Amino acid sequence: MPVQVVIMLGGLPVTRTPVVFIHGAWLHARSWESWAERFAGRGWSTHAPGWPGEPPTAGEARNSAELLPDLGLEELTEHYARLVRSLDASPVLVGHSVGGLVAQHLLGTGVGEAAVALAAAPVNEVPLPAVRIARDRAATGRGPVLLSPARFRETFANTVPEEEARRLYERYAIPAPRRLLDDLGCAGAPRHPFTAADTANPGRGPLLLVSGQEDLVVPDGVTRAVYKQYGDSTARTDLKQFADRGHTLIVDGGRRVVADYVLWWLDEHVVGAT
Protein backbone atom coordinates (compact mmCIF):
# COMPACT_ATOMS: atom_id res chain seq x y z
CA MET A 1 0.00 0.00 0.00
CA PRO A 2 1.19 3.56 -0.66
CA VAL A 3 2.83 5.36 2.24
CA GLN A 4 2.08 9.09 2.21
CA VAL A 5 4.51 11.24 4.17
CA VAL A 6 3.93 14.89 4.97
CA ILE A 7 6.77 16.97 6.40
CA MET A 8 6.63 20.45 7.93
CA LEU A 9 8.60 23.31 6.44
CA GLY A 10 8.21 26.71 8.07
CA GLY A 11 5.06 25.53 9.81
CA LEU A 12 3.43 24.52 6.51
CA PRO A 13 2.72 20.90 5.48
CA VAL A 14 4.66 19.80 2.39
CA THR A 15 4.41 16.41 0.69
CA ARG A 16 7.80 15.24 -0.52
CA THR A 17 8.44 13.95 -4.04
CA PRO A 18 6.79 10.52 -4.47
CA VAL A 19 8.77 7.40 -5.31
CA VAL A 20 7.34 4.53 -7.37
CA PHE A 21 9.12 1.19 -6.94
CA ILE A 22 8.91 -1.22 -9.90
CA HIS A 23 9.88 -4.81 -9.22
CA GLY A 24 11.33 -7.19 -11.77
CA ALA A 25 10.69 -10.71 -13.00
CA TRP A 26 10.75 -13.56 -10.46
CA LEU A 27 10.44 -11.24 -7.43
CA HIS A 28 7.23 -10.14 -5.70
CA ALA A 29 6.33 -6.50 -5.00
CA ARG A 30 7.22 -7.20 -1.35
CA SER A 31 10.83 -7.15 -2.46
CA TRP A 32 10.59 -3.37 -1.89
CA GLU A 33 9.23 -3.57 1.66
CA SER A 34 12.44 -2.55 3.42
CA TRP A 35 13.15 0.13 0.80
CA ALA A 36 9.69 1.65 1.19
CA GLU A 37 10.13 1.76 4.96
CA ARG A 38 13.57 3.35 4.70
CA PHE A 39 12.49 5.93 2.12
CA ALA A 40 9.39 6.81 4.14
CA GLY A 41 11.58 7.32 7.18
CA ARG A 42 13.50 9.90 5.16
CA GLY A 43 10.34 11.75 4.22
CA TRP A 44 9.52 10.28 0.82
CA SER A 45 6.01 9.34 -0.27
CA THR A 46 6.37 5.74 -1.43
CA HIS A 47 4.37 3.47 -3.74
CA ALA A 48 5.28 -0.17 -4.39
CA PRO A 49 2.43 -1.60 -6.49
CA GLY A 50 2.52 -5.11 -7.86
CA TRP A 51 2.06 -6.14 -11.45
CA PRO A 52 -1.50 -6.60 -12.78
CA GLY A 53 -3.03 -9.74 -11.28
CA GLU A 54 -0.23 -10.25 -8.74
CA PRO A 55 -1.42 -11.97 -5.52
CA PRO A 56 -0.71 -10.42 -2.11
CA THR A 57 2.12 -12.84 -1.30
CA ALA A 58 4.81 -14.72 -3.17
CA GLY A 59 3.58 -18.03 -1.78
CA GLU A 60 0.13 -17.46 -3.27
CA ALA A 61 1.72 -16.60 -6.62
CA ARG A 62 3.74 -19.81 -6.64
CA ASN A 63 0.78 -21.94 -5.58
CA SER A 64 -1.56 -20.48 -8.22
CA ALA A 65 0.89 -19.88 -11.04
CA GLU A 66 -1.58 -21.10 -13.66
CA LEU A 67 -3.94 -18.22 -12.75
CA LEU A 68 -1.39 -15.45 -13.26
CA PRO A 69 -1.87 -13.27 -16.36
CA ASP A 70 0.60 -13.77 -19.19
CA LEU A 71 1.78 -10.16 -19.21
CA GLY A 72 3.85 -8.64 -21.97
CA LEU A 73 6.35 -5.81 -21.65
CA GLU A 74 4.07 -3.20 -23.25
CA GLU A 75 1.19 -4.05 -20.92
CA LEU A 76 3.49 -3.92 -17.90
CA THR A 77 5.02 -0.58 -18.93
CA GLU A 78 1.64 1.02 -19.55
CA HIS A 79 0.45 -0.21 -16.15
CA TYR A 80 3.15 1.84 -14.45
CA ALA A 81 2.76 4.78 -16.83
CA ARG A 82 -0.90 5.09 -15.81
CA LEU A 83 0.04 4.93 -12.14
CA VAL A 84 2.71 7.62 -12.52
CA ARG A 85 0.33 9.92 -14.37
CA SER A 86 -2.31 9.47 -11.66
CA LEU A 87 -0.07 10.95 -8.96
CA ASP A 88 -0.28 14.59 -7.91
CA ALA A 89 3.45 15.11 -8.48
CA SER A 90 5.95 13.61 -10.92
CA PRO A 91 7.69 10.76 -9.06
CA VAL A 92 11.12 9.22 -8.95
CA LEU A 93 11.06 5.76 -10.57
CA VAL A 94 13.12 3.07 -8.85
CA GLY A 95 13.19 -0.21 -10.74
CA HIS A 96 14.96 -3.55 -10.35
CA SER A 97 15.75 -5.92 -13.22
CA VAL A 98 12.84 -5.64 -15.72
CA GLY A 99 11.55 -2.83 -13.52
CA GLY A 100 14.77 -0.94 -14.22
CA LEU A 101 14.19 -1.30 -17.95
CA VAL A 102 10.62 -0.02 -17.54
CA ALA A 103 11.89 2.94 -15.52
CA GLN A 104 14.39 3.88 -18.24
CA HIS A 105 11.79 3.57 -21.00
CA LEU A 106 9.38 5.82 -19.11
CA LEU A 107 12.03 8.39 -18.17
CA GLY A 108 13.13 8.63 -21.79
CA THR A 109 9.57 9.53 -22.80
CA GLY A 110 9.36 12.26 -20.16
CA VAL A 111 7.43 10.22 -17.59
CA GLY A 112 8.93 10.62 -14.13
CA GLU A 113 11.16 13.17 -12.38
CA ALA A 114 14.19 10.88 -12.27
CA ALA A 115 15.00 7.16 -12.32
CA VAL A 116 17.18 4.61 -10.59
CA ALA A 117 17.72 1.33 -12.46
CA LEU A 118 19.17 -1.45 -10.31
CA ALA A 119 20.59 -4.52 -12.07
CA ALA A 120 18.32 -3.51 -14.93
CA ALA A 121 17.49 -5.63 -17.96
CA PRO A 122 19.35 -4.02 -20.87
CA VAL A 123 17.82 -1.46 -23.21
CA ASN A 124 18.20 -0.95 -26.96
CA GLU A 125 20.67 -3.21 -28.75
CA VAL A 126 22.58 -4.26 -25.61
CA PRO A 127 21.98 -8.04 -25.52
CA LEU A 128 20.45 -9.93 -22.64
CA PRO A 129 22.92 -12.63 -21.56
CA ALA A 130 21.95 -16.26 -21.97
CA VAL A 131 21.92 -17.37 -18.33
CA ARG A 132 21.08 -20.85 -17.16
CA ILE A 133 17.55 -19.74 -16.28
CA ALA A 134 16.68 -20.85 -19.82
CA ARG A 135 16.79 -24.47 -18.72
CA ASP A 136 14.02 -23.80 -16.21
CA ARG A 137 12.07 -22.08 -18.96
CA ALA A 138 12.15 -25.10 -21.20
CA ALA A 139 11.07 -27.41 -18.38
CA THR A 140 7.92 -25.49 -17.48
CA GLY A 141 5.90 -26.10 -20.66
CA ARG A 142 3.76 -23.19 -21.84
CA GLY A 143 2.78 -21.54 -18.55
CA PRO A 144 4.53 -19.03 -16.30
CA VAL A 145 8.19 -19.70 -15.57
CA LEU A 146 8.98 -20.49 -11.93
CA LEU A 147 12.59 -20.91 -10.91
CA SER A 148 13.34 -23.86 -8.67
CA PRO A 149 14.92 -23.06 -5.28
CA ALA A 150 18.18 -24.51 -6.58
CA ARG A 151 18.18 -22.36 -9.73
CA PHE A 152 17.24 -19.26 -7.70
CA ARG A 153 20.19 -19.93 -5.42
CA GLU A 154 22.53 -20.56 -8.35
CA THR A 155 21.62 -17.51 -10.46
CA PHE A 156 19.86 -14.88 -8.29
CA ALA A 157 21.25 -15.43 -4.80
CA ASN A 158 24.76 -16.59 -5.70
CA THR A 159 26.45 -14.16 -3.27
CA VAL A 160 24.53 -15.00 -0.09
CA PRO A 161 24.62 -18.00 2.28
CA GLU A 162 22.39 -20.95 1.42
CA GLU A 163 20.02 -20.37 4.34
CA GLU A 164 19.52 -16.73 3.38
CA ALA A 165 18.86 -17.76 -0.22
CA ARG A 166 16.17 -20.14 1.01
CA ARG A 167 14.49 -17.38 3.06
CA LEU A 168 14.59 -14.98 0.13
CA TYR A 169 13.01 -17.59 -2.13
CA GLU A 170 10.18 -18.30 0.29
CA ARG A 171 9.32 -14.66 0.82
CA TYR A 172 9.89 -13.14 -2.63
CA ALA A 173 10.20 -15.66 -5.48
CA ILE A 174 7.28 -15.77 -7.95
CA PRO A 175 6.75 -17.07 -11.50
CA ALA A 176 7.57 -14.82 -14.47
CA PRO A 177 5.19 -14.42 -17.43
CA ARG A 178 6.45 -16.31 -20.46
CA ARG A 179 5.29 -13.57 -22.86
CA LEU A 180 7.36 -11.02 -20.94
CA LEU A 181 10.47 -13.20 -21.20
CA ASP A 182 9.89 -13.52 -24.94
CA ASP A 183 9.52 -9.73 -25.23
CA LEU A 184 12.90 -9.34 -23.51
CA GLY A 185 14.53 -11.57 -26.12
CA CYS A 186 15.03 -14.68 -24.01
CA ALA A 187 15.82 -17.87 -25.92
CA GLY A 188 16.42 -15.92 -29.12
CA ALA A 189 12.95 -14.34 -29.41
CA PRO A 190 12.81 -10.92 -31.13
CA ARG A 191 12.92 -8.08 -28.62
CA HIS A 192 9.82 -5.94 -28.16
CA PRO A 193 9.99 -2.23 -29.17
CA PHE A 194 9.38 -1.31 -25.51
CA THR A 195 12.87 -2.57 -24.68
CA ALA A 196 14.05 0.68 -26.27
CA ALA A 197 14.94 3.77 -24.25
CA ASP A 198 15.62 7.26 -25.58
CA THR A 199 19.18 7.46 -24.33
CA ALA A 200 19.87 10.72 -26.19
CA ASN A 201 16.96 12.71 -24.73
CA PRO A 202 18.54 15.86 -23.23
CA GLY A 203 15.33 16.87 -21.46
CA ARG A 204 14.86 13.81 -19.29
CA GLY A 205 15.52 13.76 -15.55
CA PRO A 206 18.63 12.34 -13.85
CA LEU A 207 19.31 8.61 -14.11
CA LEU A 208 21.36 6.36 -11.84
CA LEU A 209 22.40 2.92 -13.10
CA VAL A 210 23.40 0.40 -10.40
CA SER A 211 25.08 -2.96 -10.88
CA GLY A 212 26.29 -5.83 -8.74
CA GLN A 213 29.69 -7.00 -9.90
CA GLU A 214 28.85 -10.66 -9.16
CA ASP A 215 25.41 -10.52 -10.81
CA LEU A 216 24.85 -13.55 -13.05
CA VAL A 217 21.44 -12.48 -14.39
CA VAL A 218 22.39 -8.95 -15.49
CA PRO A 219 26.20 -8.91 -15.36
CA ASP A 220 28.08 -5.74 -14.50
CA GLY A 221 29.37 -5.60 -18.07
CA VAL A 222 25.82 -5.31 -19.38
CA THR A 223 25.10 -2.33 -17.11
CA ARG A 224 28.35 -0.67 -18.19
CA ALA A 225 27.37 -1.19 -21.84
CA VAL A 226 24.02 0.47 -21.18
CA TYR A 227 25.80 3.35 -19.42
CA LYS A 228 27.82 3.96 -22.58
CA GLN A 229 24.56 4.22 -24.52
CA TYR A 230 23.83 7.42 -22.59
CA GLY A 231 27.22 8.96 -23.41
CA ASP A 232 25.89 11.43 -25.98
CA SER A 233 23.15 12.82 -23.72
CA THR A 234 23.64 16.04 -21.79
CA ALA A 235 21.17 14.82 -19.18
CA ARG A 236 22.76 13.51 -15.99
CA THR A 237 23.57 9.78 -16.01
CA ASP A 238 25.59 8.12 -13.24
CA LEU A 239 26.86 4.58 -12.71
CA LYS A 240 27.41 2.90 -9.34
CA GLN A 241 28.96 -0.56 -9.07
CA PHE A 242 28.78 -2.66 -5.91
CA ALA A 243 31.48 -5.27 -5.45
CA ASP A 244 30.53 -8.82 -4.38
CA ARG A 245 26.83 -8.25 -5.02
CA GLY A 246 24.44 -10.38 -7.06
CA HIS A 247 20.97 -9.95 -8.51
CA THR A 248 19.36 -10.01 -5.05
CA LEU A 249 21.06 -6.75 -4.06
CA ILE A 250 17.70 -5.11 -3.24
CA VAL A 251 16.53 -7.83 -0.83
CA ASP A 252 19.56 -9.55 0.68
CA GLY A 253 21.55 -8.64 3.76
CA GLY A 254 23.41 -5.82 2.00
CA ARG A 255 20.27 -4.06 0.75
CA ARG A 256 20.55 -1.16 3.20
CA VAL A 257 23.94 -0.10 1.81
CA VAL A 258 22.45 0.04 -1.68
CA ALA A 259 19.30 1.85 -0.55
CA ASP A 260 21.31 4.43 1.39
CA TYR A 261 23.49 5.17 -1.63
CA VAL A 262 20.37 5.69 -3.74
CA LEU A 263 18.93 8.02 -1.08
CA TRP A 264 22.16 10.02 -1.04
CA TRP A 265 22.17 10.27 -4.84
CA LEU A 266 18.57 11.46 -4.91
CA ASP A 267 19.27 14.10 -2.28
CA GLU A 268 22.23 15.32 -4.33
CA HIS A 269 20.78 15.35 -7.82
CA VAL A 270 16.97 15.34 -7.89
CA VAL A 271 15.07 18.63 -7.85
CA GLY A 272 12.40 18.53 -5.18
CA ALA A 273 14.09 15.79 -3.18
CA THR A 274 14.55 17.99 -0.14
Identity of residue 139: A
Identity of residue 15: T
CA–CA distance, 87 with 105 (Å, rounded to integer): 18
Q: What pLDDT score does 116 carry?
A: 98
Write out pLDDT tens, residues 238-268: 999 999 999 999 999 999 999 999 999 999 9
Write out pLDDT tens, residues 31-62: 999 999 999 999 999 999 999 999 999 999 99
Write out pLDDT tens, residues 190-223: 899 999 999 999 999 999 999 999 999 999 999 9
Q: How far is CA 217 from CA 34, 197, 246, in A?
A: 22, 20, 8
Three-state SS sequence of 89-119: CCCEEEEECHHHHHHHHHHHCCCCCEEEEEC
CB atoms within 10 A of CB 86: 8
pLDDT exceeds 80 at position 15 = no
Residues 91-98: what's their mean pLDDT?
97
Q: What pLDDT score does 4 carry?
A: 39
Q: What pLDDT score does 180 carry?
A: 95
Using alpha carbons, select from 258, 75, 98 the residue that is nearest to residue 185.
98
